[in-house]
Chains A and B, each alone.
Chain A
Amino acid sequence: MANIAAKRIKREFKEVMNSEEVAGGYIKLALVNDSWTELQGTIVGPPDTPYEGGTFQLEIKVPETYPFNPPKIRFVTKIWHPNVSSVTGAICLDILKDQWAAALTLRTVLLSIQALLSAAEAGDPQDAVVAKQYRESQQLFLLTARHWTNVYAGGPSAIWEFDQKVQRLLDMGIDEHEARVALSHYDWELERATEQLFS
């Protein structure tokens, strides 16, 4: 049955490569090994979102039972989004779970994930902390997401104030990513983040 999976992935791969989205540079798909079970997806942050200008890598694992079961996809690039775990990159998206349909393809799934970036669903969060910030302090969420896009996905707009705060913790000998996570979790309040890091 792996036969169906491999055959279908090959067809899908061809389809993606010929699609206008790849031509336009919105999504990309690359093979990781020859067995067609693992692929690497790339999406660019949609315009008018804090992810604009960023390039996000995704790990795509195709199960033996594909297309009867959905592919397993997670963000490799760190991202600040209510429906994506800021730790593991796991994505909360219905079509990757119970709403999967065999008629969906890697191309449509990648486009759906891209759509998720422009329309977060805070009612069904993957990362509770991010979702809380998204609901309660939207402005701070947008800045944090833009900052993460800048640092991890090559986004264009650096947030000077945030960089300074991360640098402050860095000077105390804390790992850069750890410092950024703590600051993001505590709404960029340096004191509370420091307290948490040293407790």
Chain B
Amino acid sequence: MASEDKVGASASALQPTDDENSKSCWVCFATEADDRLAAWVQPCKCIGTTKWVHQSCLQRWVDEKQRGNITRKVLCPQCKAEYIVVFPSMGAFVALLDALEEITHKISPFIAGGVLLGSIYWIAITYGAVTVMQVVGHREGLEMMESADPLVLLVLLPTIPVTLISAKMYNWEDSVLLFLRKYCAKIPALAYILPFGNVEGDRGAIVSGQHNNTNQTTTHHLSPTRIFCSALLLPTISTIIGKIFFRSVQNNLHRTILGGLTYITIKGALKIYHKQMLYIRHSSRKILDYTETNLKLYRSNISSNEAVSNNDSEQVI
């Protein structure tokens, strides 16, 4: 950008015909002769043609520079002197209202944040209490909580959902799967339970390398809502499974723990199986030669897929 100095120099040489004594406004360029009633001000260190300005023109310029923020400082564009803006005093009452306004403005975010945190805390406590009653039984749970120290409850109850969620963040199925892949592939008996698929040398290494990476990314990609839901639903599901399959167990807590363990084990096994199948599918994929027959086969596959989603797939073939 061209430096402003050149401009400043030419700006001060503005209107060479005007003599030094006659005022002319650097905003509207009107002179004293144009409007005898207008109020003039000399707001900065500038001399020459930018010495004088109409009070109303400068007000508008200041408004334009502040863009709605009335506390912003405005400098003279030429001499960089700060304009001395004063507001008339409106009395003590207005000053008090001003102060109140400012305090309210400042503390509102903190109050809102506090209310939000408090609400989350109380939700966590409620969830904890409901979980306790669900797990050990309604009456027993109430008795237990009534006999406990309220302070202890206030600390312990909210940790229940927190613990559930943080436990859920640890993806134990992946560790088990990796372990199985590493050590148990050699034991033939296990191959009946968990197929390992014969992936040829190089490609297998590449795919498993890739797969480790994707594994890591999928754990990162695991959606927060999914973790949240499955963690918080765990006690409920455990209770239900306990009631269905372990009716003979009398103690509520034991029954729920049994139910929970059953649920986690079955779900984990299914998940590991599914992941392993995906892994095998991925590692044994093939890219076909570009021949007429392969192409036809591929196109008819695609079009039959499209036919499922939208009905006008006839013209594709």
Q: Which residues of A contact B (CB under 8 A)?
A: 4, 7-8, 11-12, 15, 18, 65, 67-69, 83, 92-95, 99-105, 107-109, 111-113, 115-116, 119, 121, 124
Contacts and interface: CB of A to CB of B under 8 A. Distances in A.
Interface in B25-68: 26-30, 49-50, 57, 60-61, 64
B64 A111 contact: no
Interface in B59-97: 60-61, 64, 77-78
6 contacts: A15-B15, A67-B27, A93-B2, A103-B14, A111-B10, A116-B2
Given A7-B28, A7-B30, A124 B10 contact: no
B227 to A, nearest CB: 46
A104 B11 contact: yes
Contacts, number: 81
A69 B64 contact: yes
B6 interface: yes
B101 interface: no
Among A65, A94, A95, A99: residue with most chain B CB under 10 A: A95
Given A103-B26, A121-B1, 6 more contacts: A7-B29, A92-B1, A108-B10, A111-B6, A111-B10, A115-B2
B178 to A, nearest CB: 48
A137 to B, nearest CB: 23
Given A67-B27, A105-B14, A115 B64 contact: no
Contacts of A95: 1-2, 4, 7
Nearest to A120: B2
A31 B162 CA distance: 73
B1 A102 contact: no
Interface residues of B, number: 23
Contacts of A124: 1
A88 B57 CA distance: 34
A113 B6 CA distance: 11
B64 A83 contact: no
A13 to B, nearest CB: 11
Nearest to A1: B60
A8 B7 CA distance: 19
A95 to B, nearest CB: 6
A112 B4 CA distance: 8
A68 B26 contact: no
Contacts of A102: 26-27, 57, 61, 77
Nearest to A100: B77
A11 B29 contact: yes
Contacts of A68: 27, 60-61, 64
